[in-house]
Amino acid sequence: MKTLLELVRIVTKNKIRHIEVLGKASDSNGKLMGLYDALCAGKVKTDEEALIYLYGTRSQPSSYRNLKSGLKRRLLNSLLFINLADPSLNEQEKAYYTCQKDWAAVRVLLRMGARKLAIRLAESVLKQALHFDLTEIIVQATQVLRFHYGTRTGEVKKMQQYNALHKRYREAWQFESLAEEYYILLIANYIKERSVKTEVSRQALEYYNGLENAMVEFKTYRLLFLGNLIRIIAYRSVNDYNNTVESCERAIRAFEEKAYEVKTPIYTFLHQQILAHIQLKQFEEGRRTADKAAGLIPAGSVNWFVNMEMLLILALHTRQYQRACEVYQEAISHPRFSHLRDVDKEQWRINGAYIHFLLEAGKATALKDKSRMRKFRLGRFLNDVPVFSRDKQGMNVAILIIQILFLIVKKRYNEAIDRIDAVNKYRMRYLVKDKALKRSNCFVKMLLQIPLCNFHKAAVLRKSEKYYEQLTAVPLEVANQTHGIEVIPYEDLWELVLESLNTKFYKRRR
């Protein structure tokens, strides 16, 4: 009862009746809740839209600024009341939120002089943090507890116990911090481009070797997660997909051995494994892995979109074009699609361009009940992918190829002829010297034969034969090229393009 009285005294003193959170009855019909509901429903996304929705005007009154400030304050206050009964949260996620909230309470209680209650709560938080590998909380809790038992109660044995824990987890936390630094340094190379990076691979292996012993000794959640990601980057950066698969399996086993359920890391490594299976043409293994990953994530989450992209690629690489169209439409029609990062939207736009090519070629049919499937316009598409358009030895290859494909399949032959010199200069500058882009170089040379042969099918087959043989001599699974460049395998694309050609020579109209 003493601790309860102590808590009541603090809360009463600070006037809980003045704490503002969302959901109070007095707010139910006010503009504040109106703005909140509109934001949740996606009815407004800008200040201008909000002003029209709430006030019927574009001018911004001072009351609107106060309204936004009040909503922000209440949202921040409401963060402390997260619904931990949410079925989408697993044990580890619930423990994270509970420990963070309770640890904040410990710091406040100590500051306000409620030491007995603070220490009791700190010991409870520590017990949970130890079970769920919450290293930073462990470091802070043991620091407070060793100080309390060493300087306030003089219980030397407890002080030594917490001091030993503090030293061990402080060292683990330092390795976690180092792993995070390494990961950031590596991943910064891939935010805006996807080309092969040999130097990144060498550096990643060096980083991983420096962390490997610590990963064996401490086995904390964050250290295992970041350390294994670094190892995978080492192989992915040079497109070593066999070692990528093995590294993912090792990482997944490490997390499956945990005493609690883990979702996010296992999903992350399954995703990397799917990409590797696709490049190795291990499509059945890829499908099984994608099905396993789908069971770990809620629809509409960022990872859900990532998994949908994997399902799309698997469908495209197994010629299930109608299925690919359905996956694409389901993804872009989801209300959360607009919340994706711009770079992720660009990847979907590139995939979408190939879906529209399949529609134009008559290999799939759009679902009429999906309103987000708008008509494809080549000029708009090029404006919508500014980041990857600069990735000259990465995803810009896929962008360049889809431009040529559309001009051919839509029989815009004059434009295709006009593009010959520019495309060949691009090929000579960016594709010839990079061995990892040999397949792309061969395929672009095949495409260039089409306008050179005046779009005559037999002539194109004859002139492109040697380049086709060079292409097939380097199968996708051993090509060592960046994943994603071949949205549809080049061999399959070539068949589709040939089907669209005529048996007559095209005479250019001046």
Q: Encode 305-369 in three state secondary structure.
A: HHHHHHHHHHHHHCCCHHHHHHHHHHHHCCHHHHHCCHHHHHHHHHHHHHHHHHHHCCCCCCCCC
Does 289 fall in a domain?
no
Task: Tell me, yes or no, whether 103 and 59 share the same domain.
Answer: yes
| Domain of 496, in residue numbers | 391-510
Domain identity same for 344 and 438:
no
62 with 134, same domain: the answer is: yes
Q: What is the pLDDT of residue 509?
A: 57
- Using alpha carbons, list the distances in angstroms from residue 121 to 81, 103, 161, 269: 18, 8, 18, 35
Residues 146 and 6 reside in one and the same domain: yes
**Residue 16 confidence (pLDDT):** 46
Can you say whether the dihedral through the CA atoms of 76, 78, 84, 88 is positive or negative? negative
Q: Quick one: DSSP state of residue 192?
A: S
Q: Indicate if 402 and 358 belong to the same structural domain.
A: no
Q: What's the residue count for the chain? A: 510
Whether 22 and 112 share a structural domain: yes
Burial label, 268 (beta-carbon count in 10 A; 0-12, 13-18, 19+): buried
Contact 395, 437 (CB under 8 A): no
Give the sign of the dihedral formed by CA 323, CA 325, CA 326, CA 331. Answer: positive
Residue 240 located in a structural domain: no
Buried b (16+ CB within 10 A) or exposed e, 370-390: eeebeebebeebeebbebbee
The span from the CA of 225 to the CA of 212, in Å, is 12
What Rg, from alpha-carbon coordinates, does the chain have?
29
In a domain, 336, yes or no: yes
Whether 468 and 494 have beta carbons less than 8 Å apart is answered as yes
Token pair listed for 281: 């043409």
Domain count, the chain: 3
For tokens 């040379």, name the residue: 445
* Domain termination residue (choose one: 153, 185, 207): 153
The answer to whether the pTM exceeds 0.85 is no
As a whole number of Å, the end-to-end CA separation of the chain is 95
pLDDT for 231-272, tens place per residue?
999 998 888 999 999 999 999 999 999 999 998 899 999 999
Please check whether residue 260 lies inside any domain of the structure.
Answer: no
pLDDT at 502: 81
- Tally the C-alpha atoms within 13 A of residue 372's C-alpha that lie toward its C-beta: 17
**How confident is the model at residue 389, as a pLDDT?**
59
Q: What is the pLDDT of residue 177?
A: 98
The string over 279-305, giving b where at least 16 C-beta atoms fall within 10 Å of a residue's C-beta and e elsewhere, is: bbbbbebbbebbeebbebbeeeeebbb
Q: What is the pLDDT of residue 196?
A: 55
Asked whether the beta carbons of 135 and 220 are under 8 A apart, the reply is yes
Q: Are residues 359 and 421 in the same domain?
A: no
* pLDDT one-digit tens code per residue, 438-477: 898 999 999 999 988 988 999 999 999 999 999 999 887 6
Tell me whether residue 188 is in a domain. no
Domain-ending residue, one of 153, 183, 213 = 153
pLDDT, residue 320, reads 93
A 10 A CB-CB count for 420 gives 15
Same domain, 425 and 346: no
Considering the domain architecture, whether residues 408 and 369 belong to the same structural domain is answered as: no
Query: In 3D, which of 21, 117, 118 has the Cα closest to residue 77?
Result: 21
* Domain assignment of residue 345, yes or no: yes
Residue 247 lies in a domain: no
In a domain, 485, yes or no: yes
Mean pLDDT (10-residue bins), the chain, 510 residues:
53 53 55 81 81 79 82 77 74 92 94 93 97 97 97 96 98 98 88 65 95 97 98 90 96 96 92 89 90 88 90 91 94 90 88 93 80 73 69 73 88 86 86 83 92 90 94 77 81 93 70
Nearest residue to 398 (alpha-carbon basis) of 353, 363, 358, 442: 353
Output the pLDDT for position 312: 93
Residue 508 pLDDT: 59
9, two tokens: 């005294």
Q: Which amino acid is at 299?
A: A
Are 307 and 359 members of one domain? yes
Supply 405's token pair. 């494909």
From 95, 122, 153, the end of a domain falls on 153
* Residue 334 sits in the same domain as residue 475: no
Q: What is the pLDDT of residue 27?
A: 45
Question: How many CA atoms, within 13 angstroms, populate the side-chain half-sphere of residue 245?
Answer: 14
CA 237 from chain centre, in angstroms, equals 17
Q: Which of 33, 27, 34 is nearest to 53 (CA)?
A: 34
Q: Are residues 328 and 399 in the same domain?
A: no
